Structures are given as C-alpha cells and as structure tokens.
Amino acid sequence: MAKQTVDVLIEGGKATAAPPLGPALGPTGVNIGQVVADINKKTADFKGMKVPVKVIVDTDSKTYEIEVGTPPAAQLIKTEAGVKSGASNPLTEKVADLKIEQIIKISNMKQDSLLGASTKARVREIAGTCQSMGMMIEGMSAADALKEIKAGKFDDKINSGKTELTAEELKVLKEEKQKLQEELKANRDKYMEIGQKILQEMEGKDAKKIRAKLTEAEVPVTIQNELIPPEKKK
C-alpha cells in the first residue's frame, strides 16, 4: 500500500486546483475536484487565515485523508474573543464573553485534534478550555455554560452548525468585552494600591512575611510578583 503526502498552505475555504495543490495531486490519480471540495469544507471556518493542509493519498486505492494543521485552541479562543491573553486567575477574573456560535466554530476548526466523537462533545472540550482562561460563554461563567451545554440548552444551535454572528451580536460582544476589561483594570488598580500600602507598612520585613500579608489581603500572585523586587524574592 503506497502512500504519498502533499503539503500545502492555503487560505481557509479557498483551495483551488491551481498550483501548488493541483499539480502536486495530479500524479497521485485522485479526483482533484473532490479533494479541493473536501479541503474547502474542512477549512471553511478559517476564512481569512492561512492554514497548513496535508493530503495523504493511498496511490493504490486512490483514497485520501486530509489533515488540517491549526493553532492551539487557546490561541483560537483569544483570536475569536479579540484579546491578547487569558485571565491570570480564571476563578476571579473574566476577560471576554463568547457566543455559543463562536465555540462551535472553534470546535469545528479543531475537530481533527479533539477527542470528542460528536460536535457537542467537542464544543464541551472548547468550553473547558475557555473555563481555564477566564472566558465567559453566553453571559455566564464557562463552568455554568458547560452545565447548560450538557443539559441540552444549546442543542438546536449545535445541531444547526451555525457559526456566524450578526453585526448586532458582534457589537454587543465588543461592548461586553470593553466592560470586562475596564473591570479588570479597576481591580488591578485596587489591588496594586493595597499592595503598595502593605509594602510601605512592612518596609524592611522578610519577603515571606510580606507575601503572607499580601495574600491575606487577597492581592493576586501576579501583582505580588510585580510589587516585590527580585532581590526580595531570593
């Protein structure tokens, strides 16, 4: 059973039989038009993105497999949410809100590398990643969204396969993200002020005692690391 692999970089949903794909597939004897159609179906959600695609052809049977290389799920979530990073403490911070359609879209993009056998199972996997990043889903915590997904609240949307949002929905999400980012900044400023006050009160004290006091005041570890100079961490 001879196999041949063709590697190409294409824009999502826009593969054609033109070079480099068509000429590379020609000698394998597969139906190029069908391969192109299957690639475009698999990469439809990557609109505007360049993605690596691998076509593995069995030259004896003329059958083939298509593998789509994708960024990590966390990166796709950040891109979809329009943020640079997730929460430093997902339990207390929320950085953005996503619609279930966006979760479905990401699960489709990562379907080849997720464990779930169904779209719903893969959606739950992506929602789990959102939970670890401090992302909200449909206005609720990702943990609560996971319960709702399991209970079937979003089955109709998941089964429909809808992944596009209206201009109004995108506007609402943008406003929600801005609100959450403002809340994050306000909380950061508050804890930075508390931490700086504690540092002043405990100047010259052992770093471990200072950290204990900061922790007692619920100052996040990320801010503690900023406040305590490297020489005091030793």
* pLDDT at residue 231, as a whole number: 58
Is 202 a member of any domain? yes
Is 93 a member of any domain? yes
Q: For residues 1 and 16, what is the distance between their CA atoms, to the nearest angstrom?
A: 27
Is 135 a member of any domain? yes
Q: Are 228 and 210 in contact (CB under 8 A)?
A: yes
The answer to whether residues 149 and 214 belong to one domain is: no
The answer to whether residues 83 and 146 belong to one domain is: yes
* pLDDT at residue 232, as a whole number: 44
Is 174 a member of any domain? no
Per-residue pLDDT of the chain (234 residues; tens, 9 = 90+): 588 999 999 998 999 999 989 999 999 999 999 999 999 999 988 888 888 999 999 989 999 999 998 889 999 999 999 999 998 888 888 999 999 999 999 999 998 889 999 999 999 999 999 999 999 999 999 999 999 999 999 999 999 988 889 999 989 998 999 999 998 899 889 999 999 999 999 988 888 899 999 999 988 888 888 888 655 444
Q: Which domain holds residue 190?
A: 182-233
The answer to whether residues 193 and 152 belong to one domain is: no
Is 173 a member of any domain? no
- The reply to whether the predicted model has a pTM over 0.85 is no
Neighbours of 208 (CB within 10 A): 10
Give which of 134, 119, 112 is closest to 67, Cα–Cα. 112
Is 177 a member of any domain? no
Out of 165, 197, 215, a domain closes at 165
The answer to whether residues 82 and 48 belong to one domain is: no
The answer to whether residues 139 and 77 belong to one domain is: yes
CATH number for position 10: 3.30.1550.10
* pLDDT at residue 48, as a whole number: 81
User: How many domains, in total, are found in the chain?
Assistant: 3
Out of 165, 193, 221, a domain closes at 165
Is 113 a member of any domain? yes
The answer to whether residues 64 and 146 belong to one domain is: no
Out of 52, 68, 84, a domain closes at 68
Is 171 a member of any domain? no
